[in-house]
Amino acid sequence: MLNEDVLIAPSVLSADFTKLGAELDAVRDADLVHYDVMDGHFVPNLSYGTAILKQVKAATKLPLDVHLMVSNPEVQVPWFLEAGADIISFHLEAATHANRLCAQIREAGAQAAVALNPATPVCLLDSVIEDVDLVLVMTVNPGFGGQSFIPNSVQKVRKLSELCREHGVSPAIEVDGGIGVGNARDIVEAGANVLVAGSSVFKPQDRAQAIAGLRAQGRLGLEARR
Ligand SMILES: O=C(CO)[C@H](O)[C@H](O)COP(=O)(O)O
Ligand SMILES: [Co+2]
């Protein structure tokens, strides 16, 4: 289950693409591979699409956590389902029929997730929170790796946890952007349990140690929450 422990999701956006296979092997102790799709329209940057995702899938045993930062996600969701995504996040700000899109993702056997930009309040999830397996809270404005964590995200995750309690649901809560050992404990204590980490995993020489450090801090946060 996605919501039972602290899960670490290295973002391959920060990997060295000239040796992607070795990079994926170096993060094999993680729980998910986070795959950022940027369309140059919803966010001011371009990344990669389904062709690379298929190569990533062939090179790792970890589940693929696809983060769609695209306008009109209704068009692209079927492409990424077909390419083998295990979790698909689309942005609430970009979706016209969020509940329908969640149902479509689940019917295909994947887990459905909604992502929120930093300026989007959690109350907008009220009508969709019972239809998702995971909520992705952006803790930077999306579009680039290596940005600084926005501190009020901790309070936002707390509010989201309250909203989930009110609805009697417990989707996984994923945080994405500027996550490292300095903030992992606090954000998990607030209610997050999936930690996306690009720079903080792929910048250090020892990726396994970086993952273990994040996991240890996250578990301290989980203990403090209980
Ligand atoms: O969605 C994203 C950017 O839009 C990335 O997942 C995120 O930025 C991860 O990189 P870092 O940990 O370096 O911030
Ligand atoms: Co992401």
Ramachandran assignment for 91, one of left (phi > 0), alpha (psi -120 to 50 degrees), beta (any other): beta
**Residue 87 β-bridge partners:** 65, 111
Q: What is the CATH number of domain 7-225?
A: 3.20.20.70
Give the position, in ligand 1's atom list, of the atom nearest the Cα of 45: 4
Question: What type of residue is 67?
Answer: H
User: Looking at residue 177, what is its pLDDT?
Assistant: 98
Ligand having the closest approach to the CA of 89: 2
> Does the pLDDT at position 3 exceed 80?
no
36 is catalytic: yes
176 is catalytic: yes
- Confidence tier at 226 by pLDDT (50, 70, 90): confident
Compute how many other C-beta atoms are within 10 angstroms of the C-beta atom of residue 71: 17
Pocket test for ligand 1, best of 34, 38, 196, 207 (most atoms within 8 A of CB): 196
Q: How far apart are CA 207 and CA 23, in angstroms?
A: 9
Torsions phi, psi for 161 (to 5 deg): -60, -40
Question: What type of residue is 42?
Answer: F
pLDDT for 77-132, tens place per residue? Answer: 999 999 999 999 999 999 999 999 999 999 999 999 999 999 999 999 999 999 99
Domain map of the chain by residue range? 7-225
Q: How many residues does this entry show for the chain?
A: 226
Section 8-17 average pLDDT: 98
**Residue whose structure tokens are 């500027």:** 178
Which residues are annotated binding-site positions for a divalent metal cation?
Answer: 34, 36, 67, 176
Question: What type of residue is 119?
Answer: A
Cα(147) to ligand 2 centroid in Å equals 12
Torsions phi, psi for 224 (to 5 deg): -65, -30
Classify each residue of 151-183 as buried b or exposed e, where b means 16 or more C-beta atoms within 10 Å of its C-beta: eebbebbbebbebbeeeeeebbbbbbbbbbeeb
Ligand having the closest approach to the CA of 87: 2
Which residues are annotated binding-site positions?
Answer: 11, 34, 36, 67, 143-146, 176-178, 198-199
> Does the pLDDT at position 138 exceed 90?
yes
ipTM of the complex: 0.98
pLDDT for 182-195, tens place per residue? Answer: 999 999 999 999 99
- The binding-site residues of ligand 1, defined as CB within 6 angstroms of any ligand atom, are 11, 13-14, 34, 36, 67, 69, 140, 142-147, 176-179, 196-200
- Confidence tier at 60 by pLDDT (50, 70, 90): very high
